[in-house]
Each structure stands twice: as structure tokens, then as C-alpha cells.
Amino acid sequence: MSETMEQTKSVWMQLGQITSPASLGKDIQSDVCIVGAGIAGMTTAYLLLREGKTVVILDDGAVGAGQTQRTTAHLSNAIDDRYFKIENWHGIAGSRLAAESHTAAIDRIESIINDEKIACDFERLDGYLLGTPGESVELLEKELLAARRAGLSQVELLPNCPLITFDTVPCLRFPQQGQFHPLKYLAGMKQAIQRLGGLIFTQTRVEKIESGQPTFVLTYLGATVTASSVVVATNSPFNDFVTIHTKQAAYISYVLGFEVPKGSVGKALYWDTEDPYHYVRLQTLPETESSGDLLIVGGEDHKTGQAKDAEVRYRRIEEWARKWFPTIGKVLYRWSGQVLETIDGLAFIGRNPLDRPNVYIATGDSGQGMTHGTIAGILLTDLIVGRQNPWATLYDPTRKTLRAAGRYAQENLNVAAQYTAWVTGGDVDSTQEIAPGTGAIVRAGLSKVAAYRDEHGVLHQCSAVCPHLGCIVEWNRNESTWDCPCHGSRFDKQGHLLCGPANSDLENVTSLVEDGIVAME
């Protein structure tokens, strides 16, 4: 699914846009149809083409225009949820497979870059998990032992981080991590896919997947792709109505990019153990943009549609960054992205639950979208060509992780609580209170309306009911979007779909007017 925010742009969006191919205008046949042109979809397409399969990619936006362009592009085998938790949820064998697969993903990205000669600022570098000031090293020691049991024998505990220039806290060093420019990488992948005969169609939203043998992928433009296998790699799958969405939750994460003098911060990946946590990397900027480097700092996550304090969160990121990296200068970039956190720390990659065996999904990035997306490419290729893969059970979308039952219950109780918005008042009593350039929810009889007033004072209204499972959306002032607090569907300020699991726009206000629910100004 495409996601085009208007308020913020990442450094990648500013410096690395990809030329979009045309939309699909006629029926077509292929071995595999992939829906989604982000890291997971493009990697899967490339690897399948290398296996001799014919591949068609569809996306309702541009290549990489979803969450791939809003990542901070850490390439890491240091699990966000920590190895001691992965071990608890999946056992030692599962933890070893998780470490093996994320390590293999970084290696595969590097090999693709070398094979295709992609200039995308790829580097190998260390990663440092920083302890929390004033707290014991017990958590780091626990993670060290779990990481080594997972097979990461070179992880070590250090008394301080050697790349931070003032007294700091103990840390774990994870060697052989990586980073790159995600849109430059996908631009190179796009060229390679087209050279290998792959077909890419953008501005082409999929309306429906009719599973069977063969499977029909129907688009809103009217054209149909007939394929033996279908992969839905849209970050949040629109073809799985309920099952997967009870096992993962959407979170918004915030990012600031600071100008920093060259050489003043050691080039590495950094993460802390605070709650909410922070993550950091350095990016070299073109000399035309800055004489220094860019320090990218993210964190302060919250569930999508369940907070309205973006400015407070940006401020907390800046305060944290200036404490840890005192040489940073002004803020050059600010943006946010959406992360899908699964209940057991690992992505869902494989055959879609309750579907035919030739329909596959890749979702649940869990804060590691670049490596999970690459794992998806490797694993789905093996499944489609009929090759055994040792990771298949670990990432199986149908898995039930009993030790994560508490987290499952907590997330779904949170979702259930969001439906109380049906009986509460609106953000404002009248649309007259909505200032130009802003939006608000207004109660209209038994329903609610998402009302946005543009810069010219014209009011735009649509239903506030998310077409996925009926939650009431919330206004996101930071990105000028309507966000669903239940499962993370997002819509632009006039109600047009940006990302799923919903697969249609918010209901047009014309039908609401005809039903007498809301009146135009």
C-alpha cells in the first residue's frame, strides 16, 4: 500500500525518490503476483526472478513509497525485543534461528548490492546496546548470555561505549551490523528486476484476491493478474481480515535528523534500554546539503491513533539526543513511520491463514523491517519453488505462541477499548471550531464525521468509521492523516486510503448527507 504523508519527509524521501513505472492497464498472466513494492515485495520478486519465475509487482503508490521510505534503515541481528524474550517465546532453537535469519538477511543485502553494483551507501559497522544510566548491568548481562546462546558468539559486554566521547554506561557490542540508503537500494533493485524480466506497475491498487488455482488478482482499474502464487507484502495485509491483526499491533515511531560536525560522533548503530527506547545511526550527507553528517535519532513510540502529543515526543527525542550526543546542531529533518509489532517479536512470513496454500503474506516488521523484509524474500522464494527452509516454522503466520498469551490478551483488550469512541462526544462541538489546515472528529447523530478544513477555509467531510472493522479514526496533526486506533489503517486528510489493513477510502460525505447524518456548511 502507498503512504504519502504531507507534513513530514524523511531524509531518504528528500534525497532519493524513485521514478515510478506506469499503472497496469490490461489483463496479464505470471507465475507470481506480488502486491507491494517495498523491501519485502521487491526482494521476493528479485529472488524469484533469479529462480526463473515470471513475476508481476503491483503497488498503489510508487516503489518504496510505503514504510520503506520512512525507516531509519538499521540492518541488525540485535533483536528489538531482546534475545532473552525471543528465547522465552520461541525456545533456544527458535532464538538461534532468529539470529541466523537476521544475520543471513544482512549478508544477502550485501551480496545483492555487490552483484548488482548498487550505490546505496552500504556499510558494515558495530552496533551498541546502551544501558540505562543509574541502573545495574543485569539486563545487559542477561541479554549477553541469551545472544550467545542464540549463536552470536562475538557479542561482548563493554564497560562503556568507545564511540561516545564522554563518560557513558556499560553496553553490549554487536559486530558486523549494517546500514544503507533504503531508496537508493530499491532503485537498484528496480533496475535489476526489470533487467531480469520482472514487470512493475505502480498507481495500481488491488481490490480483491480470488484464491484458487490459478489465483486472480483484481485491481480497481479493472485489469486482472492471473498467477499461480500471490504474495501480499503491503506491510499490513489487506487480504487477511481478522486473524493476523489479532496477533500484531500498529505503532507510530518518531524520528529527528540532526546536523552534526563530521567525525564528532563515531559511525555505528546505537540503541538504548530505556522505555520508551531510542535508536540512532549516522548518515553522510551530500556536500550540497550540509558540511556535516546527519545524526538520525528515533523512538518515543505509541500505538497508532492513540496519542496526540507528537510535538512533546519530538521534544523528548531532542532532549535525549542532546544529552548523549552534545555536538549535534540544528534539526534538519523530522518524520514518523508506522511499525507493526507482533506479540512474540518476530514477523509473520508464509502462507496466509485460512486461505489457499498459494497465497502468502509478509507482515509484522517488529521494528526491523529491512531485515525482516529480506528474510521474507528468502523464505517466500523457497516456499514458492518448493524448497525446504529451516525458518519456515519460526515465521509461520499460523503459529500460536502460548508464552505470549498475556501480550496477546493485552493488545486485544486495548483494541476492544477503542470501540467506546462510538458513544463519546466529538473533538469539537461544531465544524465552525475547526481552524484552516486542521481536522477534528464531530458527532453527527448516532455516527461520527471526520472533518477537515483546508487552507482556503473549505470544509471536507467523510465518515469517521474505518472500513476495516468499524473503529472511529483519529486526527493525526503531525502528518495530517486520519489514523485508526484499532489496527493502524491510515487515510489522508480527505479520507483517501494510505495504508491498510483497510482496503477502501473512508465513506464519502455525499452518502452521509443523503442519509441526513450530516449537513454541508
pLDDT tens for the 521 residues of the chain, in order = 444 445 788 999 887 678 778 999 999 999 999 999 999 999 999 999 999 999 999 999 889 888 999 999 999 999 999 999 999 999 999 999 999 999 999 999 999 999 999 999 999 999 999 988 878 899 999 999 999 999 999 999 999 888 776 567 899 999 999 999 999 999 999 999 999 999 999 999 999 999 889 999 999 999 999 999 999 999 899 887 788 898 999 999 999 999 999 988 989 999 999 888 899 999 998 876 667 899 999 999 999 999 999 999 999 999 999 999 999 999 999 999 999 999 999 999 999 988 888 999 999 998 899 999 999 999 999 999 999 999 999 999 999 888 878 887 888 888 888 888 888 888 899 899 999 999 999 998 888 999 999 999 999 999 999 999 999 999 999 999 999 999 999 999 999 999 889 889 999 876 444 344 454 44
Q: What is the pLDDT of residue 289?
A: 67
pTM equals 0.93
Half-sphere CA count of 282, side-chain side, radius 13 A: 21
Domain 424-514: give its CATH architecture. 3-layer Sandwich (2.102)
Q: What is the pLDDT of residue 414?
A: 86
Residue written as cell 564511540? 163
- Is omega for the bond preceding 159 within 30 degrees of 0, making it cis? no
Domain locations in the chain?
A: 424-514
Residue written as cell 486506533? 485
Nearest to 6 by CA among 468, 500, 486, 491: 491
Helix (H) or strand (E) holding 284: strand 278-284
What's CA 80's distance to the chain center, in Å? 14
CA gap 37, 45 in Å, rounded = 9
CA gap 24, 201 in Å, rounded = 5
Record the cell numbers describing residue 38, joined without a space. Answer: 517495498
CA gap 80, 66 in Å, rounded = 21
Q: What is the pLDDT of residue 514?
A: 38
For the chain, the distance separating the N- and C-terminal CA atoms, rounded to the nearest angstrom, is 33
Q: What is the pLDDT of residue 288?
A: 63
As to burial, measured by CB atoms within 10 angstroms (0-12 exposed, 13-18 middle, 19+ buried), residue 108 is middle
SS3 for 300-348, per residue?
EEEECCCCCCHHHHHHHHHHHHHHHCCCCCCEEEEEEEEEEEECCCCCE
Q: In what order do the strands lie in the sheet with 438-444?
A: 438-444, 447-453, 459-463
